[in-house]
Amino acid sequence: MSDLRIEDAWQSVDPLGEALHSLRMSGTFYCRSELSTPWGVDLPAMAGCLMFHVVTDGECWVESPEIGRRKLKAGDFALIPHGRGHHLKSGPESEVVDLFDLPREPVSPRYELMSFGGGGRECRLICGAVCVEEASALGLIEALPEMILMRTDTPENEWLVGMIRLMMAEAREMRAGGDTVITRVSDILVVQAIRHWLEHDPVARTGWLGALRDRRIGRAIALMHRHPTRSWSVLELAESVGLSRSAFAARFMELVGESPMRYLRHWRFRVATTWLRETDQPLAEIAERLDYQSEAAFNRAFKTFTGTTPGKVRREARQRAVGSVVT
């Protein structure tokens, strides 16, 4: 395999762990809420973000068409990984108010306080959102359910009590570096929630996630992820994990649901999207690195697979960057 030794294919004993490692989160925003019954909040969708709620005192309900209606109580951590809009409310029949119509006190550029309600039983929450744009993490996020719930009243989640207490103390006292501490704790809680789901839900052993767990197919996927610019062939991938071409292609299709080369094309466009957002590489250079004969050919293929153009992806990323600086 010339510049890539076959032994390299076997270095990664945990392709699923690599997917978790790729969860590089940014743009954490959070709000500490002190609420009293009756109350209800309509939270808008936040595309590209994972939203979370930590109940530090009292109880509430979370609901949406996708989630249904779930009760949250003190010590619960709820992750809404697809950024869909949803309601938080004191009771199933409580009326909701649009978040942006409620008074909120800004404490820092990434932290707000909110207090409202009818004066009844109290509920305290820390809610937040983190953004993930790393290409290698998107497949994992897409495979997640509509909500992941971790409860502190189970023995395996005893560690969660300490993390929530730390987050609550930092949000309340806002000592020097409080933003940083809450951001780091948020990252840990999000990753732990995903690990919790991976370890306990049978669905996590099917589809793309199931393929990552497969000894051979998972390592082939890891190779494509690590070396997206290599001119892979089905035969080379098969040989790198010790399978015949036909056996590899059949097993890949069975587990992943598409051919190795189509998966590789999808992956390259995710990588290209990251490059477009985070670098100033010319489109022609990106096209060449990803094995396209021309910039025009790359543009056509990119739009076919993603539904948008490379130029639009780059423009939108620059507009967001300018907006964040202005804010």
Residues 169 and 211 in one domain: no
Amino acid in the structure at residue 155: P
Residues 151 and 193 in one domain: yes
Domain boundary among 174, 204, 234: 204
pLDDT at 208: 86
**What's the CATH code of the domain at 291?**
1.10.10.60
- In a domain? residue 290: yes
Residues 41 and 141 in one domain: yes
* Interaxial angle between packed helices 245-256 and 260-278, expressed in degrees from 0 to 180 and rounded to the nearest 10: 60
Residue-range definition of the domain harbouring residue 90: 22-204
- In a domain? residue 33: yes
- In a domain? residue 239: yes
Domain boundary among 149, 181, 204: 204
Q: Which of 89, 92, 86, 54 is nearest to 73 (CA)?
A: 54
Residues 109 and 245 in one domain: no
- In a domain? residue 16: no
Residues 217 and 278 in one domain: yes
**What's the CATH code of the domain at 141?**
2.60.120.280
Buried b / exposed e along 230-263 (16+ C-beta atoms within 10 A): bebebebbbbbbebeeeebbebbeebbeeebeeb
291: left (phi over 0), alpha (psi -120 to 50) or beta: left
pLDDT at 239: 94
- In a domain? residue 10: no
Residues 75 and 38 in one domain: yes
Residues 151 and 270 in one domain: no
Tens digits of per-residue pLDDT, 272-288?
Answer: 988 998 889 999 999 99
- In a domain? residue 327: no
User: Would you call 62 exposed, middle or buried from its count of C-beta atoms within 10 A (0-12, 13-18, 19+)?
Assistant: buried
- In a domain? residue 9: no
CA–CA dist 131, 274 (Å, integer): 13
Residues 55 and 184 in one domain: yes
Residues 199 and 102 in one domain: yes
Q: Can you give the pLDDT of all 327 residues of the chain as single tens digits? A: 444 454 454 454 567 777 776 666 776 788 889 999 999 999 999 887 899 999 989 999 999 999 999 999 998 999 999 999 999 999 999 999 999 999 999 887 778 889 999 999 999 999 999 887 666 677 788 889 999 999 887 777 778 788 888 877 877 776 777 777 877 888 888 888 888 888 888 888 888 888 888 989 999 998 998 899 999 999 999 999 999 999 999 999 999 999 999 999 999 998 898 899 888 999 999 999 998 889 999 999 999 988 999 999 899 888 876 655 444
Residues 252 and 164 in one domain: no
Residues 242 and 295 in one domain: yes
- Integer-rounded Cα Rg, in Å, for the chain is 22
Tell me the three state secondary structure of residue 91: coil
Domain boundary among 204, 228, 261: 204
Total domains present in the chain = 2
Residues 132 and 224 in one domain: no
CA–CA dist 281, 289 (Å, integer): 11
pLDDT at 136: 65
- In a domain? residue 199: yes
Buried b / exposed e along 79-88 (16+ C-beta atoms within 10 A): bbbbbbebbb
Torsion of CA 183, 112, 194, 228, to 10 degrees: -60
